[in-house]
Amino acid sequence: MNEHPPMTRIQARNRAVILSGGLDVFSIAGFRGATLDQIADAAGLSKPNLLYYFPSKDAIYAALLEQLLATWLDPLRALDADGDPVTEVLAYARRKLALSRDFPRESRLFATEILAGAPQIHAMLAGPLRDLVNEKALVLQSWMDAGRIRATDPHHLIVSIWALTQHYADFDVQVRAVLGDGDAFAGADHFITDLYRSLLDPAPARRL
Amino acid sequence: MNEHPPMTRIQARNRAVILSGGLDVFSIAGFRGATLDQIADAAGLSKPNLLYYFPSKDAIYAALLEQLLATWLDPLRALDADGDPVTEVLAYARRKLALSRDFPRESRLFATEILAGAPQIHAMLAGPLRDLVNEKALVLQSWMDAGRIRATDPHHLIVSIWALTQHYADFDVQVRAVLGDGDAFAGADHFITDLYRSLLDPAPARRL
Amino acid sequence: MNEHPPMTRIQARNRAVILSGGLDVFSIAGFRGATLDQIADAAGLSKPNLLYYFPSKDAIYAALLEQLLATWLDPLRALDADGDPVTEVLAYARRKLALSRDFPRESRLFATEILAGAPQIHAMLAGPLRDLVNEKALVLQSWMDAGRIRATDPHHLIVSIWALTQHYADFDVQVRAVLGDGDAFAGADHFITDLYRSLLDPAPARRL
Amino acid sequence: MNEHPPMTRIQARNRAVILSGGLDVFSIAGFRGATLDQIADAAGLSKPNLLYYFPSKDAIYAALLEQLLATWLDPLRALDADGDPVTEVLAYARRKLALSRDFPRESRLFATEILAGAPQIHAMLAGPLRDLVNEKALVLQSWMDAGRIRATDPHHLIVSIWALTQHYADFDVQVRAVLGDGDAFAGADHFITDLYRSLLDPAPARRL
DNA sequence: CATGAATGAGTCTTCATTCAT
DNA sequence: CATGAATGAAGACTCATTCAT
């Protein structure tokens, strides 16, 4: 089942530091803007040693994206058709926001890739992502049809959650410049909860 | 008052053509990813000729950002403390969305700059932008205090409008992959209007 | 008819010196063994300037081979079915030998390419070269059938002429070590003439 | 007398395996074109292990050339001044051809070395080889003087035998492209025998 | 105003070789 | 005896920029 020889401790460690260094650099500079020198510095390894573990700059980038995509859709996948509608949507939005808070570099990596036209992950967007979104949009639609949440466009609802939650990671610099250097995520959590509860709650007794 | 010699028609035209080409390229590839060759191609000029009109690659980029920033805050500036609160906020959001629809390259250019850590425009973020946001947040707060819109965090309200509206330009590739190639902005306009009306309208007779 | 813009004098000159420098280096070191630095030195240009005129190392090599192949088959093409058989064959061998004498670098370039497995020119060998050899072998065969030259294998006859004549260019170092530094080609010319006259002349009054 | 410690069976086997792998690679790619990775692959050993048995890439190459030169001159050495002249020369040419047939990699290795200017074996060419050729040329000359073979240049005679016989190994790719994939050596043997009998036989009753 | 020519400073990648175990 | 790990030096190629006309 495992086609590769077992990884030694050194291999595992070095691949990890390289990926972490790569994430640091790629998430700020994008693929083209990043240099192997920067990544090697960030990883604390020499440049040829980098290429001993990964065959090329592309391979590092590809490994990072693969690793990212493996978990990127998890929050949406967890949206449960059998749960309470408002609770489920709010929980999804908060999970997504927590992901941005805990993995801002990954979020920015994703953003740079999308901004560049998604050369590496276009297939995933048009395939698995689209399918998952359509599936969950049906769930949302069924809830709306049953009057359990207010009717609105389910696709745009999902997209709006992405936009809002990722923004706090991706536009971090701007957010901090405007909101100050405190924890923007706590306030964001409140605001986003408030926002989607207002939109979705069919019973307008809104304040908690 | 005009320190530069008067610009000939050719000069004006070529500067414009270069800036447009630069916008094409920078907005997709980012600063480092863009090359003068690509910009020259996009502008239909030779590379040395580019550098006749702008002293360097940086200068083209800086000129684009400057041009962008000159109008970037206009929609927010236009938020009128004397207008009807809900109407004003919704109008602001829709103006911002229209800007994304009509100037997606500019939006992406701004996004790449922010993602890279805003090396060129940090001062503007921490200065004029922050000041304007604080000023308008006070307006929003006064409306909330007067019960004319529902109470929520005015800073996050503004940030959320940025996030939502810019997302449709910046993450265009992803949005199209998920929503299809139709006009996402029309649906976004409806959704965003609905979303903020739900949040803000103090009288819960929400449906139109 | 001419799809390229007309070449300036500088372009023509620089392309020529690059090709000559490339010939110097490739013919001794082979493709892999040659470096752009060596070629740039031989051409008297900077390395980036080399790549201003040719897009890559491969392109220089390919241009040299193309130039070579354009004339490589001329001596054999000139073998005239209507001429005197012995005269024609001897003249062909002597033309080929003269080519080796006058263009030893080209001969060695061809040799290194063949020794490496002919990665670039295999198609030419299996196509035009094979066809031409078959055509001329038929001519030789008809002469043999008519008793105008002695019967032997016409294909091997042609191959042997290649082997003998090219050897004096390709194995120049060895030939000089054994024969001394004098003009080996003069002696070769006599010997080769003698050799093929002996083989082919149907009338055994052999001495001249 | 034996300065080296006795070689274990593993040592002997691995040195042999490395030399064979090196021969595979060097004979196709030349010295510069060959990489230790390729040789290690061909030998089925790891790269550092290669360098446990040979101190450097150069050393492998040098060992191959040394091994080659040890037997390279044997066919010519065996030319017997006391034998029948025509028989001796034909036998020499056929031995040399057989060597090319049976050891084509060695022949190509020699060719790449000569084409590169014989940096490693120039001394051998100008010394032992030259001496041996001169010695055998005297034998040939004496036969000519005695009228036992026809008079021609004995040095060129020897060189021509090298050229013809080695060509079938070194230019294998070209020969196969022109003659087809059959056994070119059988035909070559006939042709070469015919060629030199025609040249040398003093009694013109030539056909067998 | 425009462009062909040229280059120094990178940037990715290869590779022979060394080190440590 | 064997190999995983590491690297300095070099090599092909890119690119912003300068020069000359």
Helix (H, G, I), strand (E, B) or coil at A71: helix
Residue A110 pLDDT greater than 60, yes or no: yes
Alpha-carbon distance of A159 to B175, in angstroms, equals: 8
pLDDT mean values, one per 10 residues, chain D (208 residues): 63 92 93 94 93 95 94 95 97 97 96 94 94 98 97 98 98 96 95 97 60
List, in order, residues 6 or more apart from D30 with CB less than 8 Å away.
C29, C30, C32, C33, C112, C115, C116, D112, D116
- Start and end residues for every CATH 1.10.357.10 domain found in chain B: 66-200
Contact partners for chain A, using 3 or more CB pairs closer than 8 A, are B
Name the nucleotide with the smallest C1'–CA separation from C5: E4
Integer Cα distance of A197 and A6 in angstroms? 49
Tokens of B47: 């590379």
Structure tokens at B154: 């005015």
The Å distance, CA of D190 to C1' of F21, is 67
- Determine the residue type at C122: H
Residue C174 is given by DSSP the state H
Cα distance from N-terminal residue to C-terminal residue, chain C: 53
Check pLDDT > 60 for residue A103.
Answer: yes
- C-alpha distances out from residue C163 to A141, C96, D1, Å: 82, 10, 44
pLDDT at A208: 44
Q: Closest Cα to residue A120, out of A39, A26, A3, A40?
A: A26
Is the Cβ–Cβ distance between C39 and C50 less than 8 Å? yes
Tens digit of each residue's pLDDT (9 = 90 or more) over A138-160: 999 999 999 999 999 999 999 99
Q: Report the sign of the C-alpha dihedral through residues B130, B134, B140, B141, in that order.
A: positive
**CB pair distance less than 8 Å for A192 and B160:** yes
Contact (CB, 8 A) for B150 and B201: yes
| Nearest protein residue by Cα to C1' of nucleotide E6 | C49
Look up residue C56 and give its DSSP letter.
Answer: S
- Give the pLDDT mean for B8-13: 83
Q: Which amino acid does the sequence have at C138?
A: L
Measured in angstroms, what separates residue B117's CA from nucleotide F6's C1'?
34
Average pLDDT over residues B179-207: 88
Q: How many CB atoms lie within 10 A of CB A12?
A: 11
Chains touching D (at least 3 CB pairs under 8 A) are C
The Cα A179–Cα A186 span in angstroms is: 12
pLDDT, one tens digit per residue, over A189-203 is 999 999 999 999 886
Identify the CA nearest to D39 among candidates D12, D57, D65, D13.
D57
Give the whole-angstrom CA distance, residue B167 versus residue B195.
15
Q: Please choose, from the candidates C192, C189, C172, C169, the residue with its C-alpha nearest in 3D space to the C-alpha of residue C181.
A: C172
d(CA C89, CA C167): 18
Give the C-alpha separation, A97 to D160, whole Å. 83
Write the Ramachandran bin of C117: left for phi over 0, alpha for psi from -120 to 50, otherwise beta.
left
Q: For residue A11, how many other CB atoms are within 10 A of its CB?
A: 14
- Nucleotide E2's nearest residue (CA vs C1') is B49
Please, where are the H alpha helices in chain B? 9-33, 36-43, 47-53, 57-72, 74-77, 85-102, 104-115, 122-124, 130-145, 154-170, 172-179, 184-200
| CB-strand contact A25/E, under 7 Å | no
Q: pLDDT digits over B90-128, tens only?
A: 999 999 999 999 999 999 999 999 999 999 999 999 999
Two structure tokens written together for D177: 């492209």
Tokens of A200: 């979705």
**d(CA B64, nearest CA chain A) in Å:** 18
For residues A85-93, give the mean pLDDT. 98
What is the per-residue DSSP string for A108-154? Answer: HHHHHHHHTT-TTTHHHIIIIIHHHHHHHHHHHHHHHHTTSS----H
Percent of chain B with pLDDT over 90: 88
**Residue C64, amino acid:** L
How large is the average pLDDT for residues B5-30?
A: 88
Q: What amino acid occupies position C156?
A: H
Cα gap D37→D43, rounded to integer Å: 10
Nearest nt to the B11 alpha carbon by C1': E1
Q: Is B61 a residue whose pLDDT tops 60?
A: yes
Provide the terminal-to-terminal Cα distance of chain A, rounded to the nearest Å: 52
Query: What is the rounded distance in angstroms from the CA atom of residue B172 to the CA atom of residue A125?
Result: 12
Token pair of A148 as six digits: 């359990």
Give the nearest partner residue to C160 out of D122, D153, D195, using CB atoms.
D195
Report CB contact under 8 Å: A173, B112: no
**Residue B44, phi-psi category: left (phi > 0), alpha (psi -120 to 50), beta (remainder):** left
CA distance C105 to chain D (A): 10
Q: What is the mean pLDDT of chain C?
A: 93
Specify burial of residue D155 (Cβ count, 10 A radius: 0-12, 13-18, 19+): buried
DSSP B148-171: SS----HHHHHHHHHHHHHHHHHT
**Going by beta carbons, is chain C in contact with chain D, meaning 3 or more pairs sit under 8 Å apart?**
yes
Is it the case that residue C2 has pLDDT exceeding 90?
Answer: no
The answer to whether the beta carbons of residues B177 and A122 sit under 8 Å apart is: yes
Average pLDDT over residues C11-24: 96
D28·C115 Cβ contact <8 A: yes
Residues C96 and C80: beta-carbon distance below 8 Å: no
Q: How many CB atoms lie within 10 A of CB A63?
A: 16
Where in chain C is CATH 1.10.10.60? 1-55
Task: State both tokens at D64.
Answer: 């191959």
Q: Which CATH class is domain C66-200?
A: mainly alpha
Q: Which residues of D touch C123 (CB under 8 A)?
A: none
The Cα–Cα gap between D127 and D67 comes to 17
Please report, rounded to a whole number, the percentage of residues in chain A having pLDDT higher than 70: 94
Residue B5: pLDDT band (50, 70, 90) is low
Give the CA-trace dihedral at C137, C143, C148, C152, to 10 degrees. 40
CA C8 to chain D, closest CA, distance in angstroms equals 35
CA angle C112, C115, C118 (to 5 degrees): 90
Q: What is the pLDDT of residues C66-108, one digit of tens each?
A: 999 989 999 999 999 999 999 999 999 999 999 999 999 999 9
Encoded amino acid at D133, one letter: V
Q: What percent of chain A has pLDDT over 90?
A: 90
For residue B202, what pLDDT is reported? Answer: 81
Q: What share of chain C is helix, strand, coil (3-state, %, to 5)?
A: 75, 0, 25
Predicted pLDDT of residue C8: 82
Q: Are C207 and C198 in contact (CB under 8 A)?
A: no
**What tokens were used for A166?**
């990722």
Tell me the average pLDDT of chain D: 92
Question: Do A111 and B114 touch, CB atoms closer than 8 A?
Answer: no
CATH number of D1-55: 1.10.10.60
Which residue, counting CA atoms, is nearest to the C1' of nucleotide E17?
D56
Whether A25 and A34 have beta carbons less than 8 Å apart is answered as: yes
Residue B207's pLDDT band (cuts 50, 70, 90): very low
The nearest CA of chain B is from the CA of A159 a distance in Å of 8
